[in-house]
Amino acid sequence: MFFGYMFVDVMSPLQSLVNTKLGWSPEAFGYYAGAEYMLNVFGFLILAGIILDKMGVRFTGTLSASVMFIGACIKLYAISSLFAGSAFDQWLSSWWVEMPGSAKLAAFGFTIFGCGCEMAGITVSKAIAKWFEGKEMALAMGVEMAIARLGVFAVLSLSPRLADWMGKNDPSVVPPVAFCTVLLLIGLICYVVFTFMDTNLDKQLGASANGEGEEEFKLSDVGGLFKSRLFWIIALLCVLYYSAIFPFQRFGTNMLQCNLHISETQAADLLRWFPIGALCLTPPLGYFLDRVGRGATMLMIGSLLLICCHLIFALALPAFPSQGLALATIIVLGISFSLVPAALWPSVPKVMDSRYLGSAYSLIFWVQNIGLFGIPIIFGAMLEASNQGVTDPTQYDYTNPMLLFAGLGIVALFFAIWLKVLDTRNGYGLDKPNIKSDNDAVRLDGEA
């Protein structure tokens, strides 16, 4: 997951370089950014959840890591000199001319990668739920998320420097993408090693060959999830919150560059501190959730912090261009990004039957991917519409697009409050500790 998160954002701090070297407009960059989630939106994630529940974490994880690597190779080829000017490039560029051929093929590779990456996300979540059932599940998920967030910090630090250093005074997008592609191959090897560990766990537990739950998964079980009001509140809260986070990572470097009038590397160095708050706080928050609880309350606080931060980026930072203000806001946004995931993901195993836990995660990720697919496209279109006639990518006005993120946070806060009210009224246990007796387990099976 560390290497996967690095590849997701490897081109995020290079938006202005992509504009000048590859000829991608902000709208084309937005389409590329949203492409990661396209096939997931159109049903692949639901299929991935079913594969996970039927085939288990070992098969599905290996498959997902392989698909990530294949997609990365396609994207690397798309931005390389081997593709530039080729007959394939000319054909791709001949239609929908607003999006260059390199952007189209890179978006396709990113789509393939995204299928594997989201499948890996639900697989890792189910694997942790399996290994830490009845134990420190939130802490385990928090540590995993912290390591993944470290990948964002690492790539925002490395990507601009690899582009400059290996470009030999002629910066190139290729070196950082190639570097992260190799890391994905190493990640695939890491997961293969894990499959042997998981096999040993099944033998210790006396589980079956697949080792996936006491009851067999049935496709009809998925229908029950759609009837759950609580499930939909969690899913909608998830899509609104994450749609104001991950697309921000794609455009954040250029936003800081434009508002603060600094270099791309300096802007990336500021933005790289965003995941550090999540990295440092998510594991202790998981420990707190395991023993004290207050998950629903954390969701409200995290959503409120998200709104405040994006309003500062939209309104205060352009008026008062201060690197200190930008850094403080980025760190607070990172704190928000630790509160919400730390509380959200461990809540799902508490309220879902284990035999379709993979499908539950996949459906939540599916709803999330709808937003992550559409919002970057909308954001890129808003950015281009707000900067008609502006040819310098370091002079864009980000006010209106950043207000879009703040608006998403406001609606997310509404769902967080609704979730808190329902939890208080009906006693779902979302504010209770994760470590508890079997008699206290809460299930969604009959909730409508």
Distance CA 31, CA 379 (A): 10
**62: phi > 0 → left, psi -120 to 50 → alpha, else beta; which?**
alpha
Give the rounded distance of the alpha carbon of 302 from its chain centre. Answer: 16
**Architecture of the domain made up of 2-434:** Up-down Bundle (1.20)
Q: Contact, 219 vs 51, CB < 8 A?
A: no
- Please state, in angstroms and rounded to a whole number, the distance separating the CA atoms of residues 21 and 16: 9
Residue 367 makes CB contacts below 8 A (sequence gap 6+) with 235, 236, 238, 239
Tokens at residue 163, please? 């582009």
Do the beta carbons of residue 248 and residue 405 sit within 8 Å? yes
Per-residue pLDDT of the chain (448 residues; tens, 9 = 90+): 999 989 988 888 888 888 888 888 888 888 888 888 888 777 787 788 778 878 888 999 999 999 999 999 999 999 888 888 888 888 887 887 778 888 899 999 999 999 899 889 888 888 888 888 777 777 888 788 788 888 888 888 888 888 887 655 678 888 999 999 999 999 999 999 999 988 888 887 775 444 444 445 555 666 777 777 777 888 899 899 999 998 898 888 889 999 998 888 888 888 888 877 767 777 787 778 778 878 888 899 999 999 999 999 999 999 999 999 999 999 999 888 888 877 887 777 666 666 666 677 778 878 888 888 888 889 988 998 998 888 887 888 999 999 999 999 999 999 999 988 888 887 777 777 766 554 444 444 444 3
Contacts of 249 (CB under 8 A, 6+ apart): 9, 12, 152, 271, 274
d(CA 197, CA 213): 17
Q: Which two structure tokens, joined as six digits, stand for 123?
A: 């697989």
**Residue 130 identity (one-letter amino acid):** K
